[in-house]
Amino acid sequence: MIEIYKKLPKTNCGECGDTTCTAFALKVMNAQRKIQDCPYVAAEKDTLVLNKAIVTMDDNYSRVSNELEEEAKRVNFRETSAVIGGRYEIEDGTEKIKLKMMNMPYEVRREGLFEDGKYCPDSWSKIIIYDYVRRKGSRPLTGEWVTLGYFPNTASHVKAFQRNAEEKIAIKFNYDKEGLKIRCRELGGVAGQGKMKADYVYQFDLLPKIPLYLCFWDADDEFPASCKLFLDSSAEDYIDIEYLAYLVERFVEIFVQ
Ligand code: SF4
């Protein structure tokens, strides 16, 4: 963490959303923030020198995913599957927790994470799924739809989230409601009406027990289209909120492709 801190300007300006550079450095170490989220760190400095070895942020994510993997592997697969909405199976003597993340099939095995039957090398997928598995969240859905800012310590994400997520969707599908409906169905969205009065409401499962509600209002003569994303307030029981923020950002990246 000290090596990360040394790369920051140490001005505690708060622009990254964290109140101090120390708090930000701690989150980078835990792979909860990217070092580039500090606007004063140049992209080419995305490396750390530790014991004369060059360590990249990818190494850092890999370290965190390995730590979480060790914890996730030790859970009781059968019991955990039942709680987190996965499916427990034994195939050829191998225990598996099968689950979907953003409509893509994954398997947690004792030897690692598999995506669509192949070993998954992506550290972010591993961090998110292993954290979800090891937490064994069990809180039922509350039915209370909340925005990301509802959860504690999310100030660092809220503005970027509105700009990079909700506005992106609104801009992409402004005057294109058919395109919006097609994209929602492609990603496993289920149309419905919920608590919000919106022109379109779709529910997606980011993970089995973490629904995301997309509300979309069409453009009219006065205003352009707008979009709001909601989560169930139980989400913090299932996953670290920093990881949840990245999961939603990733969903939006795929959604607007
Ligand atoms: S943006 Fe964050 S990490 Fe960067 S100098 Fe300001 S407080 Fe420190």
Higher pLDDT, 123 or 157: 123
**What separation in Å is there between the alpha carbon of 170 and the centre of ligand 1?**
30
Which tens digits make up the pLDDT trace of 207-240? 999 999 999 999 888 888 999 999 999 999 999 9
pLDDT band at residue 44 using 50, 70 and 90 as cut-offs? very low
pLDDT exceeds 80 at position 83: yes
**What separation in Å is there between the alpha carbon of 16 and the centre of ligand 1?**
5
Instruction: Determine the pLDDT at residue 56.
Output: 64
Closest residue by CA, ligand 1 atom 3: 21
Q: Does domain 2-51 have CATH number 2.60.120.480?
A: no
- The third-level CATH classification (topology) of the domain covering 145-255 is TATA-Binding Protein (3.30.310)
Ligand 1 atom closest to residue 12's alpha carbon, by position in its atom list: 7
Ligand 1 atom closest to residue 13's alpha carbon, by position in its atom list: 6
Rounded to an integer, the average pLDDT of 169-176 is 91
**What separation in Å is there between the alpha carbon of 160 and the centre of ligand 1?**
15
Task: Tell me which residues have their CB closer than 6 angstroms to ligand 1.
Answer: 8-9, 11-16, 18, 21, 24, 38-40
Is residue 83 a contact partner of residue 136, using CB atoms and an 8 Å limit?
yes
For the chain, what are the domain ranges?
2-51, 65-134, 145-255
| Predicted TM-score (pTM) above 0.85 | no
